Amino acid sequence: MDRRALLAGAATAGVASAAIPDDVLAASDRAEAIAATRYGRVRGIRSPDGVITFRGVPYGAPTSGSNRFMPPVKPEPWTGVREAVEWGQSAPQLVSFVPSEVQAYLGGPVARAQGEDCLVLNIWTQGLAAGRRRPVYVRIHGGGYSTGSGDRPMYLGHNTVRRGDVVYVSMNHRLDCFGFLDLSQFGGDAFAASANVGLLDLVAALEWVRDNIEHFGGDPDRVMIVGESGGGAKVSTLLGTPAAKGLFHRAVIESGPSLALPSRQTSLALAERFLKRAGIGPGQIGELQAIPAHLMLEARQLTLNRRWFPYEAPPQGGFGPIADGTIVPRDMFDPVATPISSDVPVIVGYNRDEGTFLQMADPDLYGLDDAGLEGRVRGLVGDAAPQVIAAYRDAQPNATPSELMIGFGTDYIFGANSIKLAERKAALGPAPVYLYRFDWATPAFAGKFGATHGVEIPFTAYNIAEMPVLTRDRPDAHALAAQVNDTWTAFAATGDPNGAGLPHWPAYTAQRRATLLIDQHSQVVDDALGPNLRRLWDAVPARRI
């Protein structure tokens, strides 16, 4: 499966959390829920348990018309008090075509208004008192670079704020061809940044946090960015983005290690195909800013989906950021870690059974024989398949072909790159890096998914009850979530994840390779992948995602 398509699939989520009521509050309570920003005052919702939520607060101007494909622009100031009680628009996107099981365990699809006035963020806090400076937990949504929004149930911050003394922020940003269409060679200097404007949106959101979060009880000098899947890839990329330097002080990459980005050549070829599908000539780029968003999405489908043009060479990848030499000067963690964020402590990790998600559409996954295993591995690594299978058999001598395929699929996308990122970050120094593997297996769908892709999100955000299919709202899940969520918030506060209930977690080093295995009985092991498999993956070039 194409990596960008995989990350897009992880964006699907569910209905609004019942933890945040929408009822009209007394006038005195409403007055207490007013906060100042540089652009004007906003009024949020105070819940009965004391958490104040601000929804749909603009951090940028609408991105339609002449602002389409341009770097984000600051929002226009307003007078009076702006109501911040409704979710803002999600970026224009297509419905994620993922299996119905994923829809179910992540909560089902969300019907939110889409539009190009999507540069909005959401804030959860326990208090607005001046002088109270809490750590800031910033969640960047997943879904690759093509789907998702920050208001989905697994990302909501109410429970994290209620449990820990932090301010929680999520946001939306431009996606897909709206945020990453490389028009630099077709539209002149004005479009020079178009391949990375979706990334610049994230920088603008972090600038808003720096400039305004103190009015919401947050500390602009203790900001942690967290992302899973596509969100983790965005965190990885921000670590190599000079404009983001100093805007965050800790980073967490959950199942989304991005070591390297596609080339300018790849992005230009994709843009050329897009313009052809949209019927726009190289001298007509300005017209692309005027066509309706739904026609942009149609051209996107015609660009990336081979069904209508099977005789053409398939497109390479999808729309996402590139290492353009300026906004992202070079690949973030290949061949070595970027020095831009050398002072930022990092947590990076993956889930033990990510491969069940990657291969969910394979009807024979749980009944593979040796021939089926070899055929699937050969389809990914070619003639190296026998060597790869032998290495996995040696590491797991009692595993079935299906179990070997799940383990290989996990490492092929997430495990090996998470370890490479940790190794390269540790070699760079001076800030530490901490490696984990999440082993808690979901009981969803007869337990077939194991510790699948995305299973850790309700634990890191303490949204167990909001994900009832995935977690069954079980007491053991709540107990583990308390430990994991406390660990993440401790990291936000100090840059050190220790002291919050999990076993002592040493920093990753080349000498020890300490890895925290998170489960009901969490433990630290050294070199969890093992030297043979680690050396096997060391020889594989970095995937550009």
**Single pTM value for the model:** 0.94
User: ∠ CA 510-514-517 to the nearest 5 degrees?
Assistant: 145
pLDDT confidence band for 402 (50 / 70 / 90): very high
- Calculate mean pLDDT across residues 534-541: 86
**Position 370 pLDDT exceeds 90:** yes
- Calculate mean pLDDT across residues 403-420: 96
Q: What percent of the chain is modeled with pLDDT above 70?
A: 92
pLDDT confidence band for 542 (50 / 70 / 90): low
Rounded distance between C-alpha atoms, residue 524 and residue 141, angstroms: 28
pLDDT, position 180: 98
pLDDT, position 237: 98
pLDDT, position 13: 31
Q: What is the pLDDT of residues 125-165, one digit of tens each?
A: 999 976 789 999 999 999 999 999 999 989 999 999 999 99
CB 448 within 8 A of CB 142: no
User: Who contacts 390 (Cβ-Cβ below 8 Å, separation ≥6)?
Assistant: none
User: ∠ CA 442-448-454 to the nearest 5 degrees?
Assistant: 45
**Position 204 pLDDT exceeds 90:** yes
Rounded distance between C-alpha atoms, residue 160 and residue 494, angstroms: 17
**Position 9 pLDDT exceeds 60:** no
Q: Return the higher-pLDDT residue of 85 and 500.
A: 85
**Position 2 pLDDT exceeds 70:** no
Which residue of the set 229, 236, 258, 522 is catalytic? 229
pLDDT, position 544: 72
> Within 13 A of 190's CA, how many CA atoms are on the CB side?
9
Q: Return the higher-pLDDT residue of 154 and 112.
A: 154
pLDDT confidence band for 425 (50 / 70 / 90): very high
Which residue of the set 101, 354, 403, 423 is catalytic? 354
- Calculate mean pLDDT across residues 214-240: 98
Domain boundaries, the chain: 1-263+320-366+408-545, 264-308
| Arithmetic mean of pLDDT over the chain | 91
pLDDT confidence band for 538 (50 / 70 / 90): confident
> Within 13 A of 302's CA, how many CA atoms are on the CB side?
15
Q: Domain 1-263+320-366+408-545: which CATH class?
A: alpha beta
pLDDT, position 32: 75
Neighbours of 26 (CB within 10 A): 9
Sign of CA dihedral 412, 409, 257, 482: negative
Q: Is-catalytic flag, 287?
A: no
pLDDT, position 31: 60
Query: What are residue 124's DSSP bridge partners?
Result: 53, 168
Which residue of the set 170, 453, 466, 522 is catalytic? 453
pLDDT confidence band for 30 (50 / 70 / 90): low
Q: Is-catalytic flag, 229?
A: yes
Rounded distance between C-alpha atoms, residue 49 and residue 520, angstroms: 29
194 burial type by CB count under 10 A (0-12 exposed, 13-18 middle, 19+ buried): buried
pLDDT, position 138: 98
Q: Return the higher-pLDDT residue of 307 and 524.
A: 524
**Position 353 pLDDT exceeds 60:** yes
- Calculate mean pLDDT across residues 286-292: 95
Q: C-alpha distances in angstroms, 141 versus 86, 490, 507?
A: 18, 21, 26
Q: Is-catalytic flag, 453?
A: yes
